[in-house]
């Protein structure tokens, strides 16, 4: 059974190391799954919320810890930036709940001759899984989960928000076949702009993941943002990547994407590593 392994993080000038634990594959359609032995959970392939933008609908198993990290190189609107760390710590609190901690990443941004280096805001959140994906004749039943989180103004002055910025993400996932899965998110967040203050920001995504072998996977994805900031604004992105799992609890990933403007040659590339205990 294939699950998305995700979220954007990209190449830069620095290498990253991370250790963590990831969730297991979707269980059968059952509102209350039966507990699995620790050895059985450890043998399941890691399921991550990276390298794509779309979050998985799977939580980390109870009592396990997963760390996902990476770095991203971005060229957008003639500005270049590199983000180091991009760490997400996921802790399985129960069968259906996980705690999510986002330590501050380090950002290096260049705009013309101006160079900015500093720490970004940290964050905290929770994921709850409501429903497991259907199997066999029930494949039309999606896995359903919800993330609620918030960024906290803890970063360096040039990257720090003035307020706590909450957000929510609705997560859906279908195992279309034993090797192909489709995941989608609908997200809301409170965003902040120095010129206009706080405002609502919406985003939507769709990601198709394919299991190429027992160790290799690939995905392709679209995601877009919309916000009412001095008029409606929209940004669209397309990306794809690969994952490699040398052992069930360890995953390497790489991705590349374009957007929001192809005419400006905007792009991003990244590498990541995830580990589960």
The pLDDT value recorded for residue 7 is 37
The pLDDT value recorded for residue 111 is 78
User: Is 233 strand, coil or helix?
Assistant: strand
Question: Is residue 193 assigned to a domain?
Answer: yes
Question: Is residue 179 assigned to a domain?
Answer: yes
How many folded domains does the chain comprise?
1
Question: Is residue 33 assigned to a domain?
Answer: no
Question: Is residue 63 assigned to a domain?
Answer: yes
The pLDDT value recorded for residue 233 is 86
Query: Number of C-alpha atoms within 13 angstroms, CB side, residue 163?
Result: 12
In sign, the C-alpha dihedral spanning 248, 276, 150, 87 is negative
Residues 6+ apart with CB under 8 A from 244: 215, 216, 217, 251, 252, 253
Cα 132 from Cα 95, distance rounded (Å): 11
The pLDDT value recorded for residue 2 is 40
* Structural domain of 67: 38-276
Closest CA to 51 of 275, 252, 277: 252
Return phi, psi of residue 272, to 5°: -155, 170
Which H/E stretch holds residue 192? strand 180-193
Q: In the chain, which stretches have pLDDT less than 70?
A: 1-39, 229-230
Question: Is residue 4 assigned to a domain?
Answer: no
Question: Is residue 25 assigned to a domain?
Answer: no
Residues 6+ apart with CB under 8 A from 22: 46, 47, 48, 60, 66, 68, 90, 249, 251, 274, 276
Question: Is residue 1 assigned to a domain?
Answer: no
Query: Do the beta carbons of residue 148 and residue 164 sit within 8 Å?
Result: no
Q: What is the CA radius of gyration of the chain?
A: 18
- Alpha carbon of residue 205 to chain centroid: 11
pTM: 0.83
User: The CATH number of the domain where 73 resides is what?
Assistant: 2.40.160.40
Return phi, psi of residue 105, to 5°: -85, 165
Residues 6+ apart with CB under 8 A from 124: 99, 100, 101, 102, 149, 150, 152
Cα 28 from Cα 131, distance rounded (Å): 9
């Amino acid at each position: 059974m294939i699950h998305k392994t995700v979220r954007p993080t990209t190449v830069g000038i620095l290498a990253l190391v991370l250790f963590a634990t990831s969730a297991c594959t979707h269980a059968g359609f059952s509102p209350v799954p039966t507990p699995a032995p620790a050895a059985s959970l450890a043998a399941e392939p890691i399921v991550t919320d990276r390298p794509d933008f779309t979050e998985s609908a799977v939580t980390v198993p109870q009592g396990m810890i997963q760390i996902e990290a990476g770095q991203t190189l971005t060229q957008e609107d003639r500005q270049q930036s590199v983000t180091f760390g991009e760490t997400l710590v996921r802790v399985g609190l129960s069968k259906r709940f996980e705690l999510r901690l986002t330590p501050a990443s380090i950002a290096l941004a260049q705009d013309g001759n101006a160079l900015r280096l500093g720490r970004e805001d940290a964050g905290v959140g929770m994921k709850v899984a409501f429903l497991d994906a259907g199997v066999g004749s029930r494949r039309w039943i999606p896995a359903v989960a919800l993330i609620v989180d918030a960024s906290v103004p803890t970063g360096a002055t040039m990257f720090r928000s003035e307020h706590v910025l909450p957000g929510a993400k609705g997560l859906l996932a279908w195992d279309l076949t034993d090797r192909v899965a489709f995941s989608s998110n609908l997200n809301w967040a409170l965003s902040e702009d120095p010129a206009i203050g706080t405002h609502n920001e919406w985003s939507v995504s769709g990601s198709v993941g394919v299991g190429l072998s027992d160790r290799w996977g690939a995905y392709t994805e679209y995601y877009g943002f919309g916000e009412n900031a001095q008029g409606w604004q929209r940004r669209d992105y397309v990306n794809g990547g690969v994952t490699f799992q040398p052992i069930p609890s360890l995953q390497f990933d790489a991705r590349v994407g374009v957007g929001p403007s192809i005419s400006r040659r905007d792009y991003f590339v990244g590498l990541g590593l995830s580990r589960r205990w």
